Amino acid sequence: MAKLIKENSEKGRLHIDTPLLGESLVSKELLEKTEAKEYFRMHPDINVLKIGGQSIMDRGAKAILPILDELIKAKDRHKILLMTGGGTRARHAYNIGIDLGMPAGVLSKLGDKVSWQNAEMLSVLLSKHGGVKIGHGDNLEQLTMFCRLGFIPITYGIPPYGFFEHPPEVGSIPPHRTDCGAFLLAENIGARSLIYLKDEKGLFEKDPKKLSGSEKKQLKYFDRISARELIDLDLDDLIIERPILTFLKQAKCLKELQIIDALNHPEHIIPALEGEHVGTIIYKE
């Protein structure tokens, strides 16, 4: 624990005596000592649901409204934070930015506008049921209060890296997009669960949308797999953003996430909220 100490000098300057005093915060040995026995969870009853942009939002009313009906039914039994993806419009902005040679940080700033528009649309559609759009500021500390009052808080998934986005390992597209934002928020508020609402029943070894009918039948499906196994497999394509695997491997609060097919089976949302295995579970070893 830190304590105040008085420096032996004429000015009598006070300093804070702390184990981190004078450390570089880079030493591996030091960092190991900062590991907490148990991490504080700000919102342990909140379920973070990330609704896909291209997989759900871009398909319009036919896809969105049945999902919202399930969320309305669920909100009195489960505390929900809904987060939105960007989808096709974000991809279009990325494409123009890439053609202009813009770096990842600028592309990140462009993409967050579309995710925000999707959050706006959902808040309007859910307004009479308590849907309320919030930002990434002070409102996040009030999530439990919103839910207890009967609201469904909604925010956009892009993490606020902006110009501080990490350089991508390959290519130009920002590596931390809306799936990553949902994970980072769920981890740091100590959420009860993290569920990705997609248009496939979970993770396959290849993208089923890119294959013919006969090829799909032979496709391997991952019902349950660890983040470390997926990293080692190094699949060419994933149903969620790749950095999430490293996030989960290093997570302090989240132990797993689930990917479900909410497009074709919106009725799977409530079972997933209740902890049932209805899609692909990726877990931390």
pLDDT in tens, 88-110: 999 999 999 999 999 999 999 99
CA 142 to chain centre: 18
Cα 47 to Cα 32: distance, rounded to the nearest angstrom = 30
Helix 104-125 crosses helix 88-99 at what angle (to 10 degrees)? 160
Q: Quick check: is 2 in a domain? A: no
Per-residue model confidence (pLDDT) at position 233:
96
Q: What range does the domain containing 147 cover?
A: 40-283
> How many residues in the chain?
285
Contact criterion met (CB below 8 Å) for 168 and 175: yes
Contacts of 198 (CB under 8 A, 6+ apart): 52, 55, 56, 239, 259, 260, 261, 262, 263
**pTM exceeds 0.85 for this model:** yes
Per-residue model confidence (pLDDT) at position 3:
62
Q: Quick check: is 26 in a domain? A: no
Mean pLDDT over 156-168 rounds to 94
| Amino acid, single-letter form, for residue 232 | D
Contact criterion met (CB below 8 Å) for 5 and 17: yes
Per-residue model confidence (pLDDT) at position 7:
58
Q: What is the pLDDT of residues 23-81, one digit of tens each?
A: 778 888 888 888 999 999 999 999 999 999 999 999 999 999 999 999 999 999 999 99
Q: Which of 67, 41, 50 is nearest to 144 (CA)?
A: 41
Q: Quick check: is 77 in a domain? A: yes
E strand spans, 1-71: 3-6, 14-17, 46-51
φ/ψ of residue 226, rounded to 5: -85, 155
Could you tell me the CATH number of the domain that includes residue 245? 3.40.1160.10
Mean pLDDT over 139-152 rounds to 94
Q: Quick check: is 6 in a domain? A: no
190: left (phi over 0), alpha (psi -120 to 50) or beta: left
Q: What is the pLDDT of residues 228-260, one digit of tens each?
A: 999 999 999 999 999 999 999 999 999 999 999
The pLDDT of residue 171 is above 80:
yes
Q: Quick check: is 8 in a domain? A: no
Contact criterion met (CB below 8 Å) for 269 and 260: yes
Q: Quick check: is 135 in a domain? A: yes
DSSP symbols for 77-135: TSEEEEEE---HHHHHHHHHHHHTT--HHHHHHHHHHHHHHHHHHHHHHTGGGTEEE--
Per-residue model confidence (pLDDT) at position 11:
62
First to last CA, the chain: 31
- Name the H helices within 175-242: 178-188, 213-217, 227-233
Cβ of 102: how many Cβ atoms within 10 Å? 17
Mean pLDDT over 163-185 rounds to 96
Cα 16 to Cα 66: distance, rounded to the nearest angstrom = 56
The pLDDT of residue 8 is above 60:
no
Per-residue model confidence (pLDDT) at position 215:
80
Three-state secondary structure call for residue 179 = helix
DSSP 280: E
The pLDDT of residue 114 is above 60:
yes
Mean pLDDT of the chain: 92
Q: Quick check: is 95 in a domain? A: yes
Q: Quick check: is 257 in a domain? A: yes
Q: Which of 196, 184, 248, 242 is nearest to 54 (CA)?
A: 196
Domain count, the chain: 1
